[in-house]
A and B are shown apart, each in its own frame.
Chain A
Amino acid sequence: MKRPAWLEQRWQRWLARRHPPGASSLALRHNRIYVLPSGFGFAFAAMAVLVLVGAINYQISLAYSFAFLMIGLGHAGLLHGFRNLLGLKLTAGLAEPVFAGESAHFPIRLDSEKPRQAIMLRAGDNDAVAVPRVDPPGGVEVWLPVGATERGWLTLPKLGLETHYPSQLCRVWSYANLHARCLVYPRPEPDAPSYRTQGAAEPGGEVQRTGDDDFAGLRRYQPGDPIRRIAWKQAARDERLSVKQYESPQSASFHFDWHDLPGMSDEARLSRLTAWVLAAENNDDRYGLILPGARLPLDQGPVHCAACLTALALYGKHA
């Protein structure tokens, strides 16, 4: 069922007023939960009416009472559905940065003082995630996918919660506007030319790299670390991810300069630079980044890589 545009607009404005963007956490209050009978609910009501008609026709007093019991059950189902959402606490956590074109996954923590069941959660128009149970005291954490189309900050769209539990007689839903955002890096250019031939090599930096296989130890995983370095065996034993570090004392150094890429659009340049930063980090080269109004000195490692990618993501945008 498609609403006309003007109605949709008003509807969204009204919803935005009722569900103002707020803190990163909120509990669903009774005046923010909506209930309407579902198709099955109407069928159930029709069945109750059918029993009632039979009761009238055969003058069976107790069948009257059963028809009314069904109506009462419908009402109870509505209340129980309402209570399935009432008081549910949602907290949005930090989402790992992603590259444009991927899906950001926002961690949403659901807490409750009583068990809840079968809640569908979705962010904006993205795919819904089913939450089979929320049990006190631990609650449950779900990752909500949100399509990241554009670099920069991706704010968590309005969350929609919906449940048909317990009786499917009604649809109970609510919205939550949680404050959370995710950094979206530019999309790395696929099949970008090698930075070794294009980028400006630091003089004296071009040294034969050795020791690519010299294992030097483990350190904690940080965003941006190449996946092939993750120590999976270790991860199976530990709670956290670790990455293998290699001794590479003598590596090449490159400056990736915005100004070295004339004749390309801004986004294409950012894409190319992103690809280079990732490639250089992957190759354990030292690299620096020069953007109009920003300059990151030569360095390497996940932190440096993240700093470079952040600078690229936010180039020309408000921080």
Chain B
Amino acid sequence: MSTLRDDLPRQPLYGSIAALFLALLPHMTQLAPWHALLILLPLGWRGLLAWQGHDLPRRWLRYGYSLLLIGVVFLQFHTLFGREGGVALLTSLLSMKLLETQHRRDARVLSLLAFFTVGAAFLVSQAFWMLAYTIGCAIAIMAQLRAWQRLDGKLDAFEYKRSAWMVLEALPIMLLLFFLFPRLSGPLWQMPDDSGSASIGLSDDMTPGSFTNLARDDSVAFRVSFNGKLPPQRDLYWRGPVLEFYDGVGWQQLGSKQDAPGDAAPELQPLGDIVRYTMTLEPHNRNWLLALDVPLPGTLPPGSHLSSRLQLLDDKAVSSRKRISLQSVLAWRTSTPAADLVNDELQLPVGGNPRARELAASWAPLSPQARVDAALAYLHNNSFVYTLDAPLLYGRNTIDDLLFSTKAGFCEHYAGAFVFLMRAAGVPARVVTGYQGGELNQDYFIVRQTDAHAWAEVWLATRGWQRVDPTAMVAPGRVTQGVARSAAGKQKLPYLVRGDSPWLSALRLRWDGAVYGWNRWVIGYDAQRQLQLLGSLGIEDFGSPRLLMWLGGCLGLFVLFYVVMHHLQSRRQRPELSQRLWLHFVAQLARHKLTQRANEGPGSFAERAARALPAHAADIQRICYLYLQARYRNRSGAELELQRRVNAFKP
């Protein structure tokens, strides 16, 4: 049979198409617009066929379109599996299945696929609104599924209402399982193309202007909660990639050496207090973890290591939000590095920037520490400007231009120039990128891309690698108050970061607090957090009697809830209150040999009773009136008065 008859009732079919559209929508935002349209087309097609009462498309057309969709997915993603390709394939199949949906059975299969597609929508986003959206989708899918079971081929508001009820009833079970179902850490298998997405935030090189661009991005890089005392803001240096190679224009990481096996951190001697904190990183698709200064080697999170450049690296790229707990020291001493490392840190391109080299050479007689101080003093005393509006510099002598003519730059200019001067003066030095500072919100810091920063490290024989921030010499406010209060040209900053509108900023912080709580408790709810929660309930591990007690208790509560609901419902099935009151009233009158005859309505009975008992005539008439009002007009006020009157009625 090459054509399929369309035997499905219209209303549920339209409901299905709407539900499928909702289920597909989040995934469509991830595709090119023409690809999304290609996938959504069969929805409209099927709806049109149903509207016009036509047969379904012929087999070759259906199969041809399916092949086209699959081919497009393969061309776009070069695979049919993995995260992106797999989801695109799933959505294509879902949409194609609709074109051959001819029986209720097909419609049910479609509902199952739609549920799966909605579940996959969290690959797109895990924001709060996405949960709300998927719940809406679940209601829509459930409503059309309910309609398919109906025999009258209708889909009305009733089904949506009942579906919403079903979701409400499902919520307690969802919450219980969400918190108590054992969480496994680590993926079951690795998908092939899961780490190809573009990175966000810092990169592994630095050119003039790159940090100025980052400063315009006020998206959150990570959030940090400290356990115990908060360190002062000027000490918050979140270390990212270390850049060592200078090509005359920009600075780059010596990636190959850091990735080499046996790349071990230098011996570290912590000085000062240990700072304990937990950070929640937004996905940036790189493997660096941006620890505060230097994390203690013995306390690193599983799956991460400290590189020879003291950078904390994860084994995998951070492609989803990640929570790590860390311990760092803000002051330290490192052992002597290998000779080739020091040579790397003295590398300079041949030629260029003669005046800077001359300046550095003039410090040659000084001790290394004194050379560092001299360079900082030079930056401090020669009226350099810290600005987002730095003039663009071209050519081979950009550092000369900055130091001697324009004298205006952002952190990457000063960090680069400083490291150049140090190397020219024979002090091993390197550029460190990362973030500096952060915004305190209630009990945690928000660190944004705006806070991205570049500073320098110099190697001193006695203390090893030590941090030096040349930008702090130019604009001391940068490290104490943040970029918005210290940099010139801040109209280039995002409006909310500038701090011109305090109430708006406060609102934004309040909102960020809610988002952070959501990330901490819902999205970041993992094996570790689960154990923490269970521990606070007195449960050590799964299979402990305590857990069974909790589970049993919760289930018992459910059962109790249902029993109570059932009782309330069956109570409602008893004769209505007004009717019971009326029967009581009739029983009272029976003592005076007055009984309501089978063919006698309440009105005529009351009239007869009033004539027989003239002393109570007014009462009887009133009760009859109230009864009729309560019973047939549904007046609850009448019912209350009826109750009072009947109880007081003593003929």
Interface residues of A (CB under 8 A from B): 30, 40, 43-44, 47-48, 50-51, 53-73, 75-77, 79-80, 87, 113, 115, 117-118, 130-133, 164-168
Contact = CB atoms under 8 A, between A and B. Distances in A.
Given A64-B181, A75-B170, A167 B150 contact: no
A72 B188 contact: no
A130 B170 CA distance: 29
Interface string B153-188: 000001100100111011111100110010111111
Given A68-B178, A71-B177, A76-B169, A54 B119 contact: yes
Question: Interface residue tally of chain B, by bracket?
Answer: 35 or more
Contacts of B183: 64
| Chain B binding surface SS class | helix
B120 A118 contact: no
B26 to A, nearest CB: 12
A102 B150 CA distance: 31
Contact of A132 (B145, B151, B523): B151
Contact of B142 (A62, A68, A167): A167
A61 B166 contact: no
B625 interface: no
A47 B115 contact: yes
A168 B116 contact: no
B119 A51 contact: yes
B130 A80 contact: no
A76 B166 contact: yes
10 contacts: A30-B566, A57-B191, A58-B83, A69-B135, A72-B174, A73-B170, A132-B152, A166-B149, A166-B159, A168-B148
B145 A61 contact: no
A47 B120 CA distance: 12
B112 A43 contact: yes
Interface in B182-205: 183-189, 191
B151 A130 contact: yes
Nearest to A79: B169
B119 A80 contact: no
Contacts of A113: 573
A132 B187 contact: no
B119 A117 contact: no
Nearest to B162: A166
Given A76-B166, A132-B150, A165-B150, A57 B187 contact: yes
A208 B149 CA distance: 64
Interface string B118-130: 1110110010001
B116 A59 contact: no
B467 interface: no
B142 A66 contact: no
A73 B167 contact: yes
B524 interface: yes
Given A87-B573, A117-B150, A60 B116 contact: no
B181 A68 contact: yes
B189 A61 contact: no
Greatest chain B CB density within 10 A among A40, A73, A131, A165 is at: A73
Contacts of A53: 188
Contacts of A59: 185-187, 320, 526
Nearest to A27: B573
A248 to B, nearest CB: 41
Nearest to A66: B119
A248 B170 CA distance: 73
A282 B116 CA distance: 68
Interface string B617-646: 000000000000000000000000000000
Interface of B: 83, 108, 112, 115-116, 118-120, 122-123, 126, 130-131, 134-135, 138, 142, 145-146, 148-152, 158-159, 162, 165-167, 169-174, 177-178, 181, 183-189, 191, 320, 522-526, 562, 566, 570, 573
A21 to B, nearest CB: 25
Nearest to B151: A132
A141 B185 CA distance: 58
Contacts of A40: 108
Nearest to A87: B573
Contact of B131 (A65, A77, A117): A65
Contacts of B184: 56
A118 B104 CA distance: 14
A77 B111 CA distance: 14
Contacts of B320: 58-60
B146 A50 contact: no
B149 A117 contact: yes
User: Top 8 A-B pairs ranked by shortest CB distance?
Assistant: A72-B170, A72-B173, A51-B119, A132-B151, A76-B166, A68-B177, A76-B169, A166-B146
A163 B188 CA distance: 39
A131 B118 CA distance: 34
A164 B149 contact: yes
Contact of A118 (B150, B173, B178): B150
Contacts, number: 150
A62 B145 contact: no
Contact of B149 (A30, A56, A118): A118
B474 to A, nearest CB: 43
B166 A73 contact: yes
Contacts of A30: 566
A255 B174 CA distance: 79
A60 B122 contact: yes
B558 to A, nearest CB: 9
A314 B244 CA distance: 110
A315 B320 CA distance: 85
A75 B126 contact: no
Contacts of B174: 65, 68-69, 71-72
A77 B526 contact: no
A44 B113 CA distance: 10
B108 A77 contact: no
A59 B152 CA distance: 43
B162 A80 contact: yes
A168 B145 CA distance: 8
B173 A75 contact: yes
A47 B112 CA distance: 7
Greatest chain B CB density within 10 A among A53, A61, A77 is at: A61
Contacts of A133: 151-152
Contacts of A73: 138, 142, 166-167, 170
A59 B319 CA distance: 11
A62 B138 contact: no
Given A48-B115, A62-B131, A73-B138, 16 more contacts: A44-B112, A55-B122, A56-B188, A57-B191, A58-B123, A65-B131, A65-B522, A66-B138, A68-B174, A69-B170, A70-B138, A76-B167, A130-B151, A164-B149, A166-B145, A166-B166
A77 B119 contact: no
Contact of B146 (A43, A79, A87, A165): A165
A133 B554 CA distance: 36
Greatest chain A CB density within 10 A among B185, B188, B189, B191 is at: B188
A131 B149 CA distance: 12
Nearest to B134: A66
A62 B523 contact: yes
B150 A67 contact: no
Given A73-B142, A73-B170, A60 B178 contact: no
A69 B123 CA distance: 17
B116 A61 contact: no
B116 A167 contact: no
A67 B115 CA distance: 9
Contacts of B131: 62, 65
A52 B518 CA distance: 20
Given A70-B115, A167-B142, A56 B187 contact: yes
Nearest to A50: B116
B634 to A, nearest CB: 14
A47 to B, nearest CB: 5
A61 B146 contact: no
B138 A75 contact: no
A30 B563 CA distance: 11
B151 A61 contact: no
Contacts of B122: 55, 60, 62-63, 66
B48 to A, nearest CB: 27
